[in-house]
């Protein structure tokens, strides 16, 4: 399996190094032939190549079997024409990575916040509010002024259908329940369409239990009784926000796995950002990127029918649980280890 690794900004290099060690350990134990090619992304790429991400790297990713994307300091990037491109959105759109699958679960050994739970947020990843664009008339006249900004929120049947199907398929392999999250009481055309399509899709999965919640009330339901949820499907920005909440409720933003998958490509990516407040201090939790990478191994294993990759993925997930249960973890989840040592703790359990 050929992987491209882009460490990125802030805590990216630290959590990427730990993830790489875990991958190498899993490769040795399960006999995987892994080739990992590291490339530049983020500020370091901007300084070297004039862009935070380049077409050259995209070509390499297209030739590889998967991408591991570290976090980027995207809030710093203002002007695409100066190469300040948001790498997450770049790969999601250019590789059509339409499903962002973000599992969150509680762990023995991590201080409890709202009781035990195990759920997955399935987030549409290519449209919604993320189609932000200035409005122009047919003759190029810009219909915004210095005082008016307009963004278009696009929702399409194709994207709703494929994300709903992803959620139902996932629920079929889990506890058999899908929750649709929307704001169809106000956004009647866009979220109304999303909800209608989810309900239609449910007819093809008669064994799956369904329910739906308005996105604002959903925040209360998740905090009140997270264990009631199995698979949650929603549009792009609601999923972005909801998955940070569920990761933090499980103990830390540093625990949430995330894979961005399409029909042909997949990208592992921590669900948190570059965390500049803790960068360079060896305190960031590497587990989010480690678990995301385990998701990528499983995606590849299923696709290629290569059981060793699926086994390696499960072993990494179990190793994370074991390390965390024994307190061999970073301080955000109650441990005393640094980033590198927390990664080594996972390696020890993977190797067993
Ligand atoms: N995938 C991405 O590339 C991505 C995602 C979100 C935000 N961002 C960017 O990252 C930068 C910082 O954003 P932010 O501060 O709003 O969000 P953030 O996710 O980087 O950090 C939020 C809080 O969570 C903590 N945190 C995050 N990851 C952690 C980890 N692995 N271990 C322990 N604690 C962790 C941080 O220290 C901070 O207190 C911004 O430029 C933002 O645009 C990038
Ligand atoms: C960096 C940003 C584009 C990204 C998003 O909003 O999707 C991030 O918040 C995430 O959750 O991956």
Q: Are 233 and 164 in contact (CB under 8 A)?
A: yes
Q: Are 337 and 343 in contact (CB under 8 A)?
A: no
Catalytic member of 216, 281, 304, 336: 216
Residues of the chain with CATH 3.40.718.10: 1-97+261-352, 114-249
Name which of 350, 348, 346, 343 is nearest 283 in CA terms.
Answer: 343
Name the closest-CA residue to atom 16, ligand 1.
273
The Å distance, Cα 34 to ligand 2 centre, comes to 28
Task: Give catalytic status of residue 79 as yes or no.
Answer: no
Name the closest-CA residue to atom 12, ligand 2.
271
The Å distance, Cα 68 to ligand 1 centre, comes to 17
Query: Which helix (H) or strand (E) segment is 224 a member of?
Result: helix 215-224
Q: How far apart are CA 190 and CA 186, in angstroms?
A: 9
- The answer to whether the CB of 288 is under 6 A from ligand 1 is yes
- For residue 137, the model assigns a pLDDT of 62
Residues of the chain with pLDDT under 50: none
The Å distance, Cα 159 to ligand 1 centre, comes to 27
Q: How far apart are CA 81 and CA 115, in angstroms?
A: 47
- Here the tokens at position 199 are 């309900």
Query: Which helix (H) or strand (E) segment is 268 a member of?
Result: strand 266-269
- For residue 150, the model assigns a pLDDT of 75
Query: What ipTM did this prediction achieve?
Result: 0.98
- For residue 145, the model assigns a pLDDT of 73
Q: Which fold has domain 1-97+261-352?
A: Isopropylmalate Dehydrogenase (3.40.718)
- Measured at the CA of 54, the angle between CA 48 and CA 59, to 5 degrees, comes to 130
CATH architecture of the domain formed by 114-249: 3-Layer(aba) Sandwich (3.40)
Ligand 1, atom nearest to 288 Cα: 31
Q: How far apart are CA 298 and CA 335, in angstroms?
A: 28
Catalytic member of 9, 65, 230, 244: 244
Q: How far apart are CA 185 and CA 237, in angstroms?
A: 17
The structure tokens 């009631």 sit at 228
- Measured from CB, residues less than 6 Å from any atom of ligand 2 are 74, 86, 88-89, 240, 271
- For residue 138, the model assigns a pLDDT of 63
Q: How far apart are CA 181 and CA 178, in angstroms?
A: 10
Task: Give catalytic status of residue 244 as yes or no.
Answer: yes
- For residue 184, the model assigns a pLDDT of 98
Ligand 2, atom nearest to 74 Cα: 1
- Measured at the CA of 196, the angle between CA 191 and CA 197, to 5 degrees, comes to 100
Catalytic member of 130, 238, 265, 309: 130
Task: Give catalytic status of residue 207 as yes or no.
Answer: no
């Amino acid at each position: 399996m050929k992987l491209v690794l882009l460490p990125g900004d802030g805590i990216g290099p630290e959590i990427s190094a730990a993830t790489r060690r875990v991958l190498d350990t899993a490769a040795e134990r399960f006999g995987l032939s892994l080739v990992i090619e590291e490339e530049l992304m983020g500020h370091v790429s901007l300084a070297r190549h004039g862009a935070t991400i380049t077409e050259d790297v995209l070509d390499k990713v297209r030739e590889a079997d998967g991408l591991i994307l570290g976090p980027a300091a995207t809030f710093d990037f203002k002007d695409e024409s100066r190469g300040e491109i948001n790498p997450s959105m770049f790969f999601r759109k250019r590789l059509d990575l339409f499903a962002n699958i973000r599992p969150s679960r509680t762990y023995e050994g991590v201080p409890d916040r709202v009781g035990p739970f195990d759920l997955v947020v399935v987030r549409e990843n290519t449209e919604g509010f993320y189609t932000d664009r200035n409005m122009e008339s047919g003759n190029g006249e810009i219909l915004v002024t210095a005082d008016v900004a307009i963004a278009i929120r696009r929702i399409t049947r194709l994207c709703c259908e494929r994300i709903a199907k992803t959620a139902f398929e996932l629920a079929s392999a889990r506890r058999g329940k899908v929750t649709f999250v929307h704001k169809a009481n106000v956004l009647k055309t866009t979220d109304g369409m999303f909800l209608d399509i989810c309900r239609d899709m449910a007819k093809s999965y008669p064994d799956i239990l369904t329910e739906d919640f308005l996105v604002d009330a959903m925040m209360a339901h998740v905090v009140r009784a997270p264990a009631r949820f199995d698979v949650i499907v929603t549009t792009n920005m609601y999923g972005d926000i909801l998955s940070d909440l569920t990761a933090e409720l499980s103990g830390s933003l540093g625990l949430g796995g995330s894979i961005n998958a399409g029909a042909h490509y997949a990208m592992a990516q921590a669900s948190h950002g570059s965390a500049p407040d803790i960068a360079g201090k060896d305190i960031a939790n590497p587990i989010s990127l480690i678990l995301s990478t385990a998701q990528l191994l499983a995606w590849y294993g299923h696709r290629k029918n290569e059981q060793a990759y699926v086994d390696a993925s499960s072993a990494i997930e179990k190793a994370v649980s074991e390390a965390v249960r024994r307190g061999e973890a970073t301080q955000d989840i109650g441990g005393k280890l640094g980033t590198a040592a927390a990664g080594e703790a996972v390696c020890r359990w993977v190797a067993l």
